[in-house]
Amino acid sequence: MDLVKVFIENILYPVMEKKNGNRIRKYLTELTSSQQMTIQALNELQTEKLKALLLECIANVPAYRPYAYLKDEIETNPISALKKIPILDKDRFRDTSENFINDTVDKSSLISNITGGSTGQPLNFYMDRRTVEHYEAARWRGLSWSGITPGSRSVMIWGNPIELDSMKQKSYHLKERWLKNRIIIPAYSLKSDSIINYINRIERFKPEYFYGYASALHAFAILMLKEKARLSFVPKAVVSTAETLHDFQREAIESAFGCRVVNEYGARDAGILAFECEHGGMHITVENAVFEVVDPITSEDQPIGENGALIVTDLNNFSMPRLRYKLGDSIALSDKACTCGRGLPLMDNVVGREDDVFLTIDGKLVHGHVFSHIARSHNPISKFQIRQHSPQSACLHIVLHSDSAVSEADAFIRNIKDVLPGTDISVSFVDEIPAGKSGKYRYAIREFDLEQGLKEMHTV
Ligand SMILES: [Zn+2]
């Protein structure tokens, strides 16, 4: 019997609910019941929530007060009223973010957060506890489809150095182990010889499931396969998050871990937006968010099944609402019904969220997030892109802020080179970095096959 799980589910959660008014399990119960509703009933539920949010916005959020004239339309047809509000992209939000804070909230009660990663430019925003609890409940509902509950033992294979910085503290690990029943394996510097140690740790811990970035899980899986390391038990699932999960990654992970891979689609600034069920359907969390998929140029609605820019309206964030927020991902909606029988609509897989894992000349894997983390502490850098051609060579393109001199980038370049010791990195300063094929700008791109690179390394 897993005593920590028993403790979390029978003591910790009830205490958090009683003492702090935590509502995660309450929301989870609601979501567990609404997933069985028909699509019409779900639409009605979503429309009611949208109406309440829009009325709040025009009354108390400075950025949305100019839309007070939509009040009648909000009352009768909230979806059509929503479409009269312009799409909010991240740049506009970043420039005017103070205007999105609800006048009636106590700012000291807000939870500050920052998005990292894919745009290379950090974005600050606020949430409140209620919003976070809705996000958590949506995650637990998705996990429940694989038989996982809030106390289930897990191993997190994580590649984000920002979070890993705070994870270095002992208190953090104790909290993870005893309050979350979870241990963390850092995936930003994995090596073949450390895999065996990690596998031994995993064997002692015997988690019910694994959780991690697609690229980090994939890197871990490749090393497991290379070292022929097998698990002696069958996990319930490996949950992939935060990045596009490619088919080749799914195959390698399933073959290494010997169980299903389940995809979670979420964003730090929008919550858990979709989750893959046990039948492979990617179900949208329609109770928490309104999805629109639009043509990236005309902003007109895309037909079902066609890829377009995802526009999200989070229905639970009343403290800093962002209506029609353009996340930067490309997705397609689907009108198929899932064989699992849940009424929640489906989406196709996400395109355009990628982070690459780099390979050093001595065979160490470095997660691409490391570079964005470095850039954050160097103000002169407006944008950058690093491309690794082979373990031995890479190029670094830098866009400086207009008021910065080239010499101010020296420390940034040094830090980047420290991460890839022995790799020859050519540096150039450019005016702009073009977006990739997916339409999204990527800051870290590995141009060679990782397995091939590791194999060649072995034979040298
Ligand atoms: Zn399903």
- Give me the domains of the chain, ranges plus CATH numbers: 3-347 (3.40.50.12780), 357-459 (3.30.300.30)
The whole-number pLDDT of residue 28 equals: 97
Helix axes 192-205, 214-226, angle to 10 degrees: 100
Give 52-119 as a DSSP string. Answer: HHHHHHHHH-GGGGGGGGGHHHHHH-HHHHHTTSPPB-HHHHHHTGGGGS-TTS-GGGPEEEEE-STT
The whole-number pLDDT of residue 165 equals: 63
CA of 394 to the centre of ligand 1 (A): 42
The whole-number pLDDT of residue 449 equals: 80
CA of 209 to the centre of ligand 1 (A): 19
CA of 289 to the centre of ligand 1 (A): 18
CA of 212 to the centre of ligand 1 (A): 22
Distance from C-alpha of 357 to C-alpha of 190, rounded to nearest angstrom: 10
CA of 135 to the centre of ligand 1 (A): 19
Low-confidence ranges of the chain (pLDDT < 50): 117-119, 438-439
CA of 439 to the centre of ligand 1 (A): 29
CA of 349 to the centre of ligand 1 (A): 14
The whole-number pLDDT of residue 99 equals: 97
CA of 327 to the centre of ligand 1 (A): 24
Q: How far apart are the first and last CA of the chain?
A: 48
CA of 181 to the centre of ligand 1 (A): 27
The whole-number pLDDT of residue 391 equals: 92
- 235 touches 259 (CB < 8 A): yes
The whole-number pLDDT of residue 242 equals: 78
Q: Which residues contact 3 (CB under 8 A, 6 or more apart)?
A: none
CA of 343 to the centre of ligand 1 (A): 8
The whole-number pLDDT of residue 438 equals: 47
Q: How many CB atoms lie within 10 A of CB 328?
A: 20
